[in-house]
């Protein structure tokens, strides 16, 4: 079972930059997209072109901003798009879907930079992550098979970005942001990519300036976190570095088909 996550940096743009071809070539069973940046009426043609998939959207109230989309070849049993806190829910940043015994969480964690790039949105970012953690904690305690995937906007460790010293005061690598990811891992969540690849030089986002992607000066901001009960079903994890069409690369996991039953 192939599950993928991709911050597409605008669904309308991605549809013109290879998203349909990537879907056809990769043939995923479930895909979580982040930064959709469109309302349903703005992407009617794009949604029609995704006819192989059941599509669920969670759009921000603010037009042209944020938003997530869940694509699946099998209709989910249920999909929730709210954490129960209005200020956290109006940006369309989470989808919690159940497929049999598998729960897939598609999330787009806020960037902490703020409009003035002054890290002013870090408290909002942390509040979102902490509320999501609390929402999922009962599932983890109950032994549910849960996969949290998406753009978490944080490089967990120094190994996860090319220039950690230069970015010590940059949102995405602040101590309090890394501490929040570490809290998830300490609670039993597994960073699936690191379960298979401990080495350096693996990133999922690159600045669009200065040839950063060609020089592989990047950050690993896109994660797939597995609950302890899911890990026995995780067969591999991947970052699809070669896939263009966004400033992010797709990430994901391969799961044993038995995960659903």
Q: DSSP letters of 236-254? A: EEEE-TT--SSSB--EEEE
- Six-digit token pair at 195? 């379960």
Can you name the residues that pair with 4 across neighbouring β-strands?
Answer: 31, 252
Q: DSSP letters of 93-145? A: -EEEEEETTEEEEEEEPPPSSTTTTSSTTHHHHHHHHHHHHHHHHHHHHTT-E
Q: Which of 151, 160, 191, 222 is catalytic?
A: 151
Q: Given its phi and psi angles, is residue 34 left (phi above 0), alpha (psi -120 to 50 degrees) or beta?
A: beta
Q: Is 151 designated active site?
A: yes
Residue 208, φ and ψ in degrees, nearest 5: -85, 5
The SS3 of residue 149 is strand
Active site residues: 151
């Amino acid at each position: 079972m192939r599950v993928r996550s991709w911050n597409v940096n605008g669904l309308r743009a991605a549809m013109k930059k290879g998203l349909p071809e990537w879907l056809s070539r990769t043939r995923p069973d479930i895909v979580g997209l982040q930064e959709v940046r469109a309302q349903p009426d703005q992407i009617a043609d794009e949604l029609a072109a995704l006819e192989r998939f059941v599509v669920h959207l969670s759009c921000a109230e603010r037009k042209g901003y944020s938003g997530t989309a869940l694509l699946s070849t099998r209709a989910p049993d249920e999909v929730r798009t709210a954490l129960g806190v209005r200020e956290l829910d109006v940006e369309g940043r989470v989808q919690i879907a159940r497929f049999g015994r598998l729960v897939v969480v598609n999330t787009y964690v806020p960037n902490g930079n703020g409009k003035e790039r002054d890290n002013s949105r870090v408290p909002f970012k942390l509040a979102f992550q902490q509320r999501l953690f609390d929402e999922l904690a009962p599932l983890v305690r109950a032994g549910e098979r849960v996969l949290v995937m998406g753009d978490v906007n944080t490089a967990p460790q120094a190994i996860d970005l090319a220039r950690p010293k230069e970015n010590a005061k940059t949102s995405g690598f602040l101590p309090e942001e890394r501490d929040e990811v570490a809290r998830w891992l300490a609670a039993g969540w597994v960073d699936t990519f690191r379960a298979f690849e401990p080495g350096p030089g693996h990133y999922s986002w690159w600045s669009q300036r200065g040839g950063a992607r060609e020089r592989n000066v990047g950050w690993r901001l896109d994660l797939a976190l597995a609950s302890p009960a899911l890990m026995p079903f995780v067969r591999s994890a991947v970052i699809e570095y070669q896939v263009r069409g966004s400033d992010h690369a797709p990430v994901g996991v391969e799961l044993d088909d038995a995960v659903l039953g």
